[in-house]
Structure 1
Amino acid sequence: MERERITREELMERLFHDDYENLKGKKLRMTRVRVPGKEVCMAHIISRSDEVIYQNLGLHIGTHEGEDHTGESIGLLRFTPWEAVVVAADVAFKSADVEIGFMDRFCGTLILTGGLTQVQTAVEEVVRFFNERLGFAVCEVHRS
């Protein structure tokens, strides 16, 4: 089942219904509140990336400065609770020859880099581990 894609304005209109007309043009303060569940929210594999993708993700700076990852694959994973990303990085690193491009324990984001087979193995193993061993709700692994 494909989810309906809506614009930000449509979402605001749905949230505020009748008040939306009075709120148009005014500054709103939105507070992001998350109630962490046990979930792998996203698991995606970019099979062969261009240099621009690495640069926009910031994977060419910091500890990876000077490295050329052009043509490598990228695995993107997102978790709640956010701290689960630490376990995911450990599972990924131990299951395949991948590098951790980025890990954020405050937002639950993990980016892996490496060869396609290795990245795919790592992402699939993380999703399997979280589902079978930790009882997390998991999403499908997507590949582009």
Structure 2
Amino acid sequence: MGLLIQALLDKYNEENNLLGDDAYNVENVVSFQEVYEGKGGWYYHLNCTRKTKGGVDNLFFPEVLRMNRGLQSKLTCLHMVKPAVDNGTCYGCKKTNVSMKHPIDAGKYKGGHDPLWPPRLCVVLPPDLPEGFDAKMKAMEERIRYQFQNCCC
């Protein structure tokens, strides 16, 4: 999931001329939630960290719309969150992933507003990943980058 978000952030950085320390880069995916929003479709809600100038970790909330049965994805929200302040209401996350931080302004993200749709998946990644995990993730990153480079969007 981190690789998908990084690929989308690379596209976002390029479109917004963000370079160096201003560019968004995923350091860690802290938590992940898949949310179904009825006719709105499937969304991924994430909390990720990134290092900024001075080595400070910042938490941000990206939301991704999954399109064409998961073959394409679109970044619909990218918002820095302050854990002590931001905790918007998302019905898709609050039942199983209470640690997920959302922007306080629920209008900034599209998924999770329908209280009737239950959440599907919650993942909190462990700090120590199994041996060989990096090689598998590198192969997945290459595949995702290839898909986005050859995509018609």
TM-score of the pair, normalised by structure 2 = 0.30
Whose strand fraction is larger, Structure 1's or Structure 2's? Answer: 2
Larger radius of gyration: 1
Q: Which structure's residues are more often helix, by fraction?
A: 1
Higher relative contact order (Cα pairs below 8 Å, separated by 6+ residues): 1
